[in-house]
Amino acid sequence: MSVTLLAGSATASVALATENPAAAPAATVVPTAPVENLIVGYKSSATEASSNTAAADDAAAKGKKAGKKAKFDRRLGTGAALVNLGGTVAPAAAADVIAQFRADPDVAYVEPDTRAYAMAVTPNDTEYAKQWDLFESTAGMNVPGAWDKTTGSGVTVAVIDTGYVAHSDVAPNIVSGYDFISTASEARDGNGRDGNPADEGDWNATDGECGTGSKASNSSWHGTHVAGTIAAATNNSKGVAGIAYGAKIQPVRVLGKCGGATSDIVDAITWASGGSVAGVPANATPAKVINMSLGGPGACGTSYQNAINAAVARGTTVVVAAGNSNANASGYSPASCNNVINVASTNRAGERSYYSNFGSIIDIAAPGGETRRATDTPGTVTTPENAILSTLNAGTTTPGAEIYKPYQGTSMAAPHIAGLAALLKSANTSLTPAQIESAIKTNARPLAGTCTGGCGAGLADAAATVAAVTSTPPTSGRENTTDYAIADNATVESPITVTGVTGNAPAALKVGVNIVHSYIGDLKVDLVAPDGSVYNLHNRSGGSTANINQVYTVNASSEVANGTWKLRVNDNAGGDTGKIDSWNLTF
């Protein structure tokens, strides 16, 4: 089976808190987020101001009075004491400990040990204003809002594609890749597989050269366009900004003249994710994300599925393009494979792009753009400003000068999600591929336009998704921290009684869940509303992954807010047990 590509034509500032009791009286500092540590300033006349032993005894005593295990951690450079609360606690619980310190006349001030962040600024890349797909409110993916928390550092993304043609706006983020094209004539580099993934061009000189119906075409430099969307260098006063510009790109070449063979692509998936391929050196920098903006007709074969399953088992998230045939994606591969994030394309109006495949197997939508309207003459470029601008090359056959050019396609949509997956993995290294997929889908927003046929969970939202995986579940005082044991093949419920809320629950009710369990694939987790309605949060996914610590969003707008809500956990297998550690509701 042969497959083809799927495309058409800061300066940071940190606010530093000062410990000045006169300028910031303790009574004005109230925790509004979960707290792990407190900073306690003692008056100079107090023994605790100079004695660590006395400070330790005082912290333990005050913590005991508040029902918490507070302990002295260390002395700050200002002389203040850092007090650890024994783990992250809810604002209300932290306030109880704070109250004990405030009541002591020897304490000058006490405040939560809050966090400061680098303040992201608009990138100075010269073409950034044209990247509507990153920031426009109608159909952009809300990427700048994620950059305060993560830029993808520490994550390698394998781009399994045509290879890479040198481009100065991507070069700083390139790591060693591999050329998996087995046939020298298709590779155009004079040999078969080798360690140089350079794109030698995928042009066709004549019609019919690649089979009946094929057309003569110039080189696409497709892999370089995809790479730029994911991780073009950013804030370098040139070109475009990459979604995960702190990540690294690993070019893995599988597409040459007349596309690429399944056998080569399967080996590329294996190698990129850290698996072994006979005759190929081990991958020194295995990828945690794979992007495959390629495909062909036909349902997913066993070869593809086995390679993808193995990659995911190694901890690699696999992102694929849905296809550009305006048809059901179930008839295309690898889009129809399991264990992938299958991405449809949307246009600048927030509608499904006219060419994008669709269907129930689509997981998510992302900007893929349109260089022309559906009614325009095929092959024309009438709306380049509405496509996806990225790095490219001007050569018609072999490489020429580096340029930037807009392309359209699910090939352009998929790297938006690969870039987001890199942001998530960087922000929270413990996330599994299943958790990354779940977070992207859970935090998507509705399309501004329509999607006939189905576009999955909606339009991916980078800022909302990153916030969900980096934030401790919010509380707003409606929390149950009592442990409820989860036994084998049993069901347990933890209640929260809500009062004082007018009307119904919101359409975006936040449900923070913290479950300790050694095998979450055993678990079914539901939110049960006061009237008995059940909203599924987690249904036996994640396999052998341990623990659930996630914020889910539930449309509970039909439910009266006041009453007793329950978190119901059903263990469906033997051999692994755990507990509901805590959970909360935010209205």
Point out the residues that are catalytic.
161, 222, 411
Residue 409 contacts residue 7 (beta carbons within 8 Å): yes
Residue 49 contacts residue 43 (beta carbons within 8 Å): yes
Following CA atoms 409, 415, 420, 424 in sequence, which dihedral angle do they give, to the nearest 10 degrees?
150
Number of neighbours of residue 299 by Cβ within 10 angstroms: 13
Backbone dihedral angles phi then psi of residue 171, each to the nearest 5 degrees:
-50, -40
Residue 219 contacts residue 395 (beta carbons within 8 Å): yes
Residue 207 contacts residue 215 (beta carbons within 8 Å): yes
Q: Which residue bears the tokens 């995986």?
A: 469
Distance of alpha carbon 323 from alpha carbon 298, whole angstroms: 12
Task: Supply the Cα-derived Rg of the chain in whole angstroms.
Answer: 27
Closest of 3, 334, 370 to residue 162, by C-alpha = 3
Distance of alpha carbon 438 from alpha carbon 427, whole angstroms: 15
Percentage helix, strand, coil for the chain under 3-state DSSP, each rounded to 5: 20, 25, 50
Residue 376 contacts residue 382 (beta carbons within 8 Å): yes
Beta-strand relationship, 248-253 and 402-407: unpaired
Write 47-53 long-range contacts (CB < 8 A, 24+): 48/81, 48/106, 49/79, 52/81
Buried b (16+ CB within 10 A) or exposed e, 404-425: bbbbbbbbbbbbbbbbbbbbbb
Q: Which residue bears the tokens 């369990």?
A: 517
Residue 250 contacts residue 177 (beta carbons within 8 Å): yes
